Amino acid sequence: MLKNAKFKKLISYYKPYKKTFFWDLLFAFFSASIMLVIPFIVRYLTDNLVSVSHDEAVKIILQFSLIIIFLMVLKFWCDYFTLYYGHLIGAKMEADMRSEVYRHYQKMSFEFFDDRKTGDLLTRVTTDLNNISELLHHLPEELCQIIIRCGGVIIIFFVLNIRMAMTFLLILVIMTVFLSFFFNKMQRAFIRNHEKLSDINSQIEESIAGARVTKAFANENVEIQKFEMGNMEFVKSQKNCLKIMGISYSGLMFFVTGILPIVAISGLILLHNNQITTGTLITFLLAESVVIGPIFSIFQQIEMFQNTMAGFYRFCEILETKPNIMDSENAVKLQNISGNIEFKNVTFHYTKTNKNIFENLNLKINVGEYIALVGSSGVGKSTLCNLIPRFYDVLNGEILIDGINVKNIKLENLRQNIGFVQQDTFLFSGTVMENIRYGNKNASDEKVVEAAKNAYAHDFIMSFSEGYNTFVGQRGLKLSGGQKQRLAIARAFLKNPPILIFDEATSNLDNESERYIQKSMEKLAQSRTTVVIAHRLSTIKNAKRILVMHSGKITEEGTHKELLAKNGVYAEFYNLL
């Protein structure tokens, strides 16, 4: 069953729309009530028309025909209101939930995304939420109509004949017990279904993103086999779910089809014994037909409820996951950051590994200093840089900017003062202008062009037919690696931060692109504290200080010439190139 806290959470989404929701339920009530009036009209006509004259009978039929037409028109408008406004409420609540979980995603740290598949996160804001919205607007309306119709029919039966009412009620109780037996089984089956569907979505998302690699290695069949395996796992999950649903639905059909002959035979016996009239028997049968629809609806709502709750639990799971990197209670907003950085006895390892990447690391980077980090892959160069803007938090020790622990600086303020240019440059699927302006959303077009010129990007941008209004494609696929890097540097120019971090920004580029990017990096680094992770040692010859990292420690330090003279690890790296 739905836990109390989650039930309150689910109900809270109705609050902004409570007035419309009230009218929605009211019209659902009227729609269901109208269906209960018709059997009584038929009973009255059946029992009374035989005792009146032909002309009087015609008059009565016409009168009641007008009443029935009026009731049907009224029901039409009630159904229209519940259908339109019910779906509208559902759509708005779905949008509210999607906004809530999306905002929550934005608060999460790198570690959260490291541990989760993109397809799974996407499913939780699309398929899962769509199912939830369907439940949120359908279930209250359907429950209202089910309660009114079933309750009304039971009252009708008790008013007309207690024996018939008890027979009908007994069937409903047995049917309810039967369906409740499969309630929890169905819920577990749907949860597993959602997990398998998320796996498939993740695989599709990964396959599309890596389509070029797949084709480059002619591994289309490998990807198809991987997908088929996941697809078959989903089918197995569906098979179990459908088995439970099949038994439940067949049992429901057994009871529903059994109601009609039981009520008919019982009514005929009572009619034969003159205990009821013909009109009353017809009323029984009509009332029964009124309730059969809601009985089928009960099963559909149980199925929808279980399917949706599986998605809602997954939705709540995300919202209950707290960001592990947040502003401290006394976090401050710094003005005019100079850019002095200090690592003091820093120890760090990633959550799922026990081996420390750094242990008691100490490092000072002075204001305006241009330093470079070199070392073999996996020694912690990128990790060290990721700790400065608090993409991850240190386990022990502290990192200071202008003498203040980064944990005591507001996250937004901290990151606004750090420019980050990475090896794998990410561009959004917009225009060149929009991607550069991402560094400063309020910058004028003139400032964007100036930043592009400083990054040596203006010329290639103007070679495009649409210039700065050129669409770069998904993840910037229409641009070369060097062009994307220069746009990323232009973005950093526009941001104009006091601290710069270049994470292997020139790796995997041709010589011409490297020269352009090297020039723009050095221009951007003027009068700023700059940390460069170098893959190509030729790009850091002009660094004021080069730090050589090995096994999570700084083993050598000096200028390019000083390190070559030491003939140590740096000289060995340099001579290998």
**Where is 26: in which H helix or E strand?**
helix 18-48
Global confidence as pTM: 0.68
Half-sphere exposure (Cβ direction) of 576: Cα atoms closer than 13 Å: 11
- C-alpha–C-alpha distance, residues 397 and 399, integer Å: 7
Sign of CA dihedral 228, 232, 234, 238: positive
Residue 432, pLDDT score: 86
What is the chain's alpha carbon radius of gyration, rounded to the nearest angstrom? Answer: 35
Residue 345, pLDDT score: 92
Residue 215, pLDDT score: 60
Q: What burial letters (b/e) apply to 395-419, b meaning 16+ CB within 10 Å?
A: eebebbbbebbbbbbebeebbbbbb
Q: For the chain, list the domains and their CATH numbers.
A: 9-319 (1.20.1560.10), 341-576 (3.40.50.300)
Angle CA(312)–CA(316)–CA(318) in degrees, nearest 5? 120
- Three-state secondary structure call for residue 470: coil
**Residue 559: CB partners within 8 Å, gap ≥ 6?**
543, 544, 545, 546
Any idea what DSSP says for residue 513? Answer: H
CA 398 to chain centre: 34
Beta bridge partners of 545: 371
Confirm if 494 and 473 have CB atoms less than 8 A apart: no
Q: Which of 305, 208, 293, 254 is nearest to 36 (CA)?
A: 293
- C-alpha–C-alpha distance, residues 392 and 388, integer Å: 9
Confirm if 113 and 37 have CB atoms less than 8 A apart: no
Residue 1, pLDDT score: 45
Half-sphere exposure (Cβ direction) of 41: Cα atoms closer than 13 Å: 16
- Three-state secondary structure call for residue 534: coil
> Which class for 450: exposed (0-12), middle (13-18), buried (19 or more C-beta within 10 A)?
middle
- Three-state secondary structure call for residue 144: helix
Q: Which of 444, 529, 435 is nearest to 486 (CA)?
A: 435
Amino acid at 82: T
Per-residue pLDDT of the chain (577 residues; tens, 9 = 90+): 455 777 788 888 888 888 888 888 888 888 888 877 877 777 777 767 766 777 777 887 788 788 888 888 888 898 888 888 888 888 888 888 888 888 888 888 777 777 777 777 777 777 777 777 777 777 787 778 778 877 777 787 787 778 777 877 887 788 777 777 766 677 677 777 767 777 777 777 667 666 655 665 566 777 778 778 878 877 777 777 777 777 777 777 777 777 777 777 777 887 778 877 777 777 777 777 777 777 667 666 666 776 677 777 778 888 888 888 888 888 888 888 888 999 999 999 887 777 888 888 899 999 988 888 888 877 888 889 889 988 888 889 999 999 899 999 998 888 888 888 877 777 777 888 888 888 888 889 998 898 888 888 888 889 888 888 888 877 677 787 778 888 888 888 888 888 988 887 665 556 666 677 777 777 777 778 988 887 667 667 778 888 988 887 888 888 888 888 888 888 887 776 5
Angle CA(427)–CA(430)–CA(436) in degrees, nearest 5? 60
Amino acid at 286: L
Beta bridge partners of 554: 549
Q: What burial letters (b/e) apply to 21-52, b meaning 16+ CB within 10 Å?
A: beebbebbbbbbbbbbebbbbbbebbeebeee
- C-alpha–C-alpha distance, residues 562 and 545, integer Å: 10
Structure-block tokens of residue 286? 């009509």
- C-alpha–C-alpha distance, residues 498 and 365, integer Å: 13
**Residue 111: CB partners within 8 Å, gap ≥ 6?**
324, 350, 351, 392
- C-alpha–C-alpha distance, residues 542 and 369, integer Å: 11
Question: What order do you get walking across the sheet with 358-365 strand by strand?
Answer: 358-365, 341-348, 396-401, 404-405
